[in-house]
Structure 1
Amino acid sequence: MPDLTNPLFPRIAQHLSLVAADRQLGILIADSRGNPDEQTQAINRLLDRGVDGLLIVPQKGTAPGLQNVPTVIINTASDPDNSVSADHAGGGRMIAEHIASLGHRHVILLGEDRVSEVQRDRVAGMRAGFDPSIHLQEIWGESGIDQLVSAIQNGATAVITTSDLLALRVHSHLTRNGIVVPHDVSLTGFDDLPFAIAMHPTLTTVAQDVEQIAGLAIERLILEIQGETLPAQNANVAMRLVIRNSTTKQNSKTKPEILQ
């Protein structure tokens, strides 16, 4: 796992463990703690312990590749080594189509890190979901967050982020600057983490079917371990749009007054 402090990855690990237990398999979990070097060391430690197979959720921007034991990669469709993934681009398209249906014409696409293949696929899906007439601003990282207030003051009415954690940061940043979600700007996340329903307003997002992804990954790994024929195509599991209170129709309100 890339980082067990991120609430998404313990959910994935839990479902993998449950599916494995149903099939009489034991699981060892390694956390690479956001460090590519630790990822390599963790893989080597597991191999040294004689594991029958590996399930790898890669560090962003890394390609650990297939190992000398059966290996399943859970990442994103654009990763050539990917075996099973959520349809990240499809999820991005769902969010974009929802925002477009509400009448927003000036939209910010905010990603956390361009290195991440998952986030790039999500942003590509977002772009694909908008008509060319929509004015899109694509911004990334800390500098992107710093640009939000001025972008909203200059007419942006929706902010689409590549994760719920990033959306939470954006919400706090906007609140400190006197910008109210969704009165002044609509806001969306990605992944439907548990805190999405604890935010005020509750967060519009898209949900991964983590249970199905875990089941497909374990089944594929079992086939590899047994030397059986693998599915002809990698699994790309559809995501689900979850509409809550952080998005609303575009309106003709005046620009928000920014706190100094």
Structure 2
Amino acid sequence: MSRLGYVRRRAPRGAGRRRAEQTIAAVVCESGPRLFSDPYYARLLVACEEALTAKGLPLMLMTATPATASLTAPRLVAGAVDGVLLIGARARHPLTVTLAASGIPVRCVGRPPDDVTLPFVDADNADGGRQVAEHLLLSGRRSIAVIAGPPTLPAARDRLEGFRRTLFDAGITSVPVAYGDFTRSSGAHAAQWLLQRVPNLDAIFVASDLMAAGAIHTLIRAGRKVPDDVAVIGFGDAPIAKSMSPTLTTVRQPVEEMATLAIKLLLAALTEENGPPADSVLPTELVVRESG
């Protein structure tokens, strides 16, 4: 029972309940400070709330790190909510195992870990990485490095894999990789690490716009011009991408569309018996600005 994450569940709260009485919980697999400092979560949660408000439903917001999952899980699966929107599930996160075994309607925003079967809505992160690689190759860049996101996060792995695979197919088999945690400071530190090991680099693909902002700051302090000396491309198309100097070339992910679709499919799962839900992957788009 412990290994499978079993928690006793009462009768489904939504059984026989009218739509207006239902409650949806958005559970972010991050700590509070990360939740409130990353613009991705703000965009996503605002869109979720708007989609639910249009249906006359409230949104309950919770966070669940691996350390606090044991506090969150019993409330979710014991009948306190009718459905769960799980955001940013990572490998070895105990809550994903518990929810997968619980039978409660769940929709993940972001692909869940490979060892957990839960329906999801995601952006095509791998294809976003491919678009960045092709753009850099067409721009004549050859000494290319990556600042990747946390390796336990499926979206971060997909971005890195799509990028590296495209470079490999073009004959670039060695791509230095530094890792960050999607914060601006981690991007700055990762760029410093890369400059020490690849002093002649001419391009960096950064797995988030916040990290890209930190990387550009490091490059400028080191005397490197962006994009003349080093091209920098981010991921996300966060508001900061347009206000930076230089403005940031980045991959636009359809955050609001992902949120709206996830809510729609989760609400449908509460009322319809139409077999296992299909996963949904929305396209990404490279937005070319000044940085690369």
Tell me whether the two structures share a fold, i.e. TM-score over 0.5: yes
1:228 to 273, 287, 290: 273
The answer for the alignment partner of 2:206 in structure 1 is 161
1:75 to 110, 114, 137: 110
Identity across aligned pairs (percent)?
Answer: 29
TM-score where L is the length of structure 1: 0.84
TM-score where L is the length of structure 2: 0.76
Residue 253 (structure 2) pairs with residue 208 (structure 1) = yes
The answer for the alignment partner of 1:110 in structure 2 is 147
- Cα–Cα, structure 1 residues 188 and 57, in superposed 2: closer, same or farther, change >3 Å? same
The answer for the alignment partner of 1:138 in structure 2 is 177
Corresponding letter in the other structure for 1:133 = G
Corresponding letter in the other structure for 2:286 = L
RMSD over aligned Cα atoms:
2.2
Could you report, residue by residue, the CA deviation over 1:196-248 in whole angstroms, capped at 9, with x for unpaired residues? 1111100111111122211221121112111331575300011111111001x
- Cα–Cα, structure 1 residues 47 and 232, in superposed 2: closer, same or farther, change >3 Å? closer
Corresponding letter in the other structure for 1:126 = F
Structure 2: segments with no counterpart, 5+ residues: 1-27, 181-185
The answer for the alignment partner of 2:124 in structure 1 is 87
Corresponding letter in the other structure for 1:198 = S
Are the counterparts in 1 of residues 210 and 240 from structure 2 also a CA contact under 8 Å? no
100-109 or 56-65, larger mean C-alpha shift: 56-65
Instruction: Tell me how far apart the structure 2 counterparts of residues 227 and 101 of structure 1 sit (CA, whole Å).
Output: 48
- Cα–Cα, structure 1 residues 120 and 194, in superposed 2: closer, same or farther, change >3 Å? same
Deviation at 1:53, TM superposition (A): 0.5
The answer for the alignment partner of 1:191 in structure 2 is 236
Instruction: Tell me how far apart the structure 2 counterparts of residues 242 and 42 of structure 1 sit (CA, whole Å).
Output: 38
- How many residue pairs end up in the alignment? 244
- Cα–Cα, structure 1 residues 160 and 238, in superposed 2: closer, same or farther, change >3 Å? same
SS in 1 for 2:213: helix
Which consecutive segments of 4 or more residues in structure 1 shift more than 6 A?
none
Are the counterparts in 2 of residues 145 and 170 from structure 1 also a CA contact under 8 Å? yes
Deviation at 1:68, TM superposition (A): 3.8
Corresponding letter in the other structure for 1:90 = D
